[in-house]
Amino acid sequence: MEENSIADTPSASRGFTAYEAVRDRLPAPQPGGACRHAPHLGAIVDAFDTILLDAYGVLNRGQDPIPGVPKRICDLQAAGKRVMVVSNASGLPHASLIARYQEMGYAFDAEDIVTSRKALVRALEQEPIRHWGIIAGEHFGPEDFPSVDYRLLGDDPADYDAAEGFLFVGASEWNAVRQIRLIESLRANPRCLLVANPDLLAPQEEGDSIEPGTYAHEIQDKTGIEPAFYGKPFANIFQLAFDRLGPNFDPARTLMVGDTLHTDVLGGQRAGIQTALVTQSGILANMDHRAAIALSGIRPDWILDQV
């Protein structure tokens, strides 16, 4: 074994600083928006036909809906707005994710939940046949990954060495020992790493969880292998959403709403749509969000107190 993993550091102490530390690995920001303020989404929604919503920190914290948001979304849908989820949620099968949103009080069409998991599955259609080592939780859901030859990685070092490539799908059961085992295997035999969630952290009821992006950047730091990321802020997930919307959607009347500058806002900017940053329920809830905007240079079109 080797030095301590970054995963040993409490996630709540990183947040914004952690995203800034990997800025050179993210898309470059656009000139940015006017940062106009509004109390909530309902105050600006007349300017938009389509609303793309992040999940964690916007719709929910962990398995709990953010108070008042289910009604807000219901009102938008009743007003004829197209409301979609565009999320880096990759650890759950799609059917389980739909059921979870229903339990929270949301009513999204199954095809209007666009995830980084789906973006990875689309990418795998273009990948050569390999024996994959998959990093995922107990509820992986292989039905979303048709015709993939794989084994789930756990505590057997032989499974790591037998893999011809790696898919990082979910981090709920990943730990520092397994992370070090993967790093050692990749150092001995470099192979590709595809990551279905670029997020570093996700807001939960008990605090922020460590997400696949944190582990993937550490792997790059310690092996030199550059991961392929699927999800915000990268274009692949937005292309999935746009394909669902069809060729006639209007980018100028499409709004990406999220709580993270470096994924939601940056990704929406790069995709050519309007952006709104939610400040009171997500990763910036305990920060001076205007200072974060100034430091990052990532400027949303709108700043919302809440959804």
Q: What digits encode the pLDDT tens for the residues 235-267? A: 999 999 999 999 999 999 999 999 999 999 999
pLDDT digits (tens, 9 = 90+) for 87-137: 999 999 999 999 999 999 999 999 999 999 999 999 999 999 999 999 999
- The whole-angstrom separation of Cα 16 and Cα 123 is 29
The stretch 19-29 carries a mean pLDDT of 95
Give the global pTM. Answer: 0.92
Domains of the chain, start order: 6-11+119-229 (3.40.50.1000), 15-115+233-306 (3.40.50.1000)
pLDDT digits (tens, 9 = 90+) for 190-241: 999 999 999 998 766 666 788 999 999 999 999 999 999 999 999 999 999 9
Instruction: Return the pLDDT at 14.
Output: 59
Helices 116-124 and 235-245 sit at what angle, rounded to 10 degrees? 90
Instruction: Return the pLDDT at 218.
Output: 97
175 burial class (0-12, 13-18, 19+ CB within 10 angstroms)?
Answer: middle
Instruction: Return the pLDDT at 203.
Output: 64
The stretch 23-48 carries a mean pLDDT of 94
Number of Cβ within a 10 Å radius of residue 123: 15
pLDDT exceeds cutoff 50 at 1: no
Question: What pLDDT band is residue 281 in, cutting at 50, 70 and 90?
Answer: confident
- The whole-angstrom separation of Cα 276 and Cα 283 is 14
Question: What pLDDT band is residue 9 in, cutting at 50, 70 and 90?
Answer: very low
- Residues 77/83, Cβ–Cβ less than 8 Å: yes
Cα-based distances in Å from 118 to 26, 51, 195, 221, 263? 20, 19, 12, 27, 17
